[in-house]
Amino acid sequence: MSTVGKTIRCKAAVAWGPAQPLSIEEIEVAPPKKGEVRIKILATGVCHTDAFTLSGKDPEGVFPIILGHEGGGIVESIGEEVTTVQPGDHVIPLYIPECRTCKFCKSGKTNLCSIVRATQGRGLLPDETTRFTCKVLLEISVAKINPHAPFDKACLLGCGITTGFGAAIKTADVQPNSTVAVFGCGGVGLSVIQGAVARNASKIIAVDLNPKKFEYAKKLGATDFVNPADFEKPIQEVLIEMTDGGLDYTFDCTGNTSVMRAALEACHKGWGQSIIIGVAGAGEEISTRPLQLVTGRVWKGSAFGGIKGRSELPGIVDDYLNKKLEVDLYITHKFKLEEINKAFELMHDGDW
């Protein structure tokens, strides 16, 4: 029986409050309005940003909330005036949309489309309402992808992998034969490594407190492995000694503001660039001696790897299908929705 135009009942993992386990609830999903798309979500990854929001440290975290911004699914129905996707299309939802008409989209300088940002942090659509309670998005927040891509893999391209890969190849524009250090080798950091390999960097140093992450970093092409716990001196000094004065590019993929400082200060004087990808908690700030910047180091940030979701994400999905981008290695476990809390526990343990 067709569900078009009707309210749907489905299951969702709801966070009722900070630091509480998610609870599986039946929710109602209203039909999409003008310019909106209702999606049947079939798979989702868990990104550290989900854990961050769940922790209560996200200044924009409003509860109750249905987490999960790394998804894949099929368009179930569309609202009036939607023209670029239709029911049955395979899609990845975008947390940064691409309207192609706002000042940001037209600038050619950024992927940070502004259309939903004002209401997004409050869990609302731009008309200040919600269809929830579920996955109804604006048409501009949907990337249509190759239907041959399996959702349980492609969903990871909806955040972590694309973010790290894009930060290396787009935001930093890593050059051949350059040196790179990646702080934090979770899903995001491992993908920076993939981007650095794609750009033929000559030295790629994986930095993590958890040595288990080095197995993955090695498989993806990191050349050196450094655990800050093995050294008594600041990690930036260790890295500067290893690289004859510092790195060409460093990336923070931890969200820890002390690590962000170390990553900047590990850069080579005169030209080193440090890219902040990690998300830090409410009230946290970064600092360094201004001399670090005066002497030519550059501090930048990157959201979703600088990737424009509708224009560029479908090509990244094709790169995966054409075996140019590794995704399968990232999947350590698969859980049913009812077991979602185990996924968060494993992310915090990092012990798999």
Ligand X SMILES: NC(=O)C1=CN([C@@H]2O[C@H](COP(=O)(O)OP(=O)(O)OC[C@H]3O[C@@H](n4cnc5c(N)ncnc54)[C@H](OP(=O)(O)O)[C@@H]3O)[C@@H](O)[C@H]2O)C=CC1
Residues that bind ligand LAXINWYW (CB under 6 A): 47, 49, 58-60, 96, 112, 117, 121, 159, 279, 303-304
CB of 217 to ligand X, least distance (A): 10
Under 8 Å between Cβ of 351 and 211 = no
**105 vs 280, which CB is nearer to Zn ion?**
105
253 binds, among ligand X, Zn ion, ligand LAXINWYW, none (CB under 5 to 8 A by kind): ligand X
Nearer to Zn ion by Cβ, of 48 and 199: the residue is 48
Please tell me the number of Cα atoms within 13 Å of 107 on its side-chain side.
Answer: 10
Q: Which is nearer to ligand X, 132 or 304 (CB)?
A: 304
- Smaller CB separation from ligand X, 65 or 159: 159
Any contact of residue 42 with Zn ion (CB under 5 A)? Answer: no
Which of Zn ion, ligand X, ligand LAXINWYW, none lies near 44, with the C-beta cut-off 5 to 8 A by kind?
none
Least distance from ligand X to the Cβ atom of residue 330, Å: 10
Task: Report yes or no: 28 and 132 within 8 Å, Cβ to Cβ.
Answer: yes
159, 180, 240, 264: which one contacts Zn ion (CB under 5 A)?
159
Minimum Å gap between C-beta 27 and ligand LAXINWYW is 22
* Peptide linkage before 126 cis (omega within 30 of 0): no
Alpha-carbon distance of 145 to 91, in angstroms, equals: 5
List contacts with ligand X (CB under 6 A). 47-49, 52, 159-160, 163, 183-189, 207-210, 213, 228, 253-256, 259, 277-279, 302-304, 347, 350
**Closest among 112, 37, 146, 119 to 301, alpha carbons compared:** 112
102 binds, among ligand LAXINWYW, Zn ion, ligand X, none (CB under 5 to 8 A by kind): Zn ion
Between 32 and 93, CB nearer to Zn ion: 93
Q: Which of 66, 102, 112, 303 binds Zn ion (CB under 5 A)?
A: 102
φ/ψ of 190, rounded to 5, equals -60, -30
Instruction: Work out how close the CB of 28 gets to ligand X at its nearest, in angstroms, rounded to a whole number.
Output: 29
Pick the binder of Zn ion from 44, 49, 236, 274 (CB under 5 A). Answer: 49
Nearest residue to 301 via CA among 206, 171, 193, 204: 171
99 touching Zn ion, by CB under 5 A: yes
Indicate the residue among 72 and 189 with the shorter CB distance to ligand X: 189
Q: Kindly state the smallest distance separating residue 88's Cβ from ligand X, in Å.
A: 29
By beta-carbon proximity to ligand X, the closer residue of 38 and 48 is: 48
Least distance in angstroms from the C-beta of 61 to Zn ion:
14
Q: By C-beta, is 29 or 154 nearer to ligand X?
A: 154
Closest to ligand LAXINWYW by CB, 78 or 316: 316
Measured between alpha carbons, how far is 328 from 245 in angstroms, rounded to an integer?
36
**Contacted entry of ligand LAXINWYW, ligand X, Zn ion, none for residue 207, CB cut-off 5 to 8 Å set by kind:** ligand X
**Site residues (vs Zn ion, CB under 5 A):** 47, 49, 99, 102, 105, 113, 159
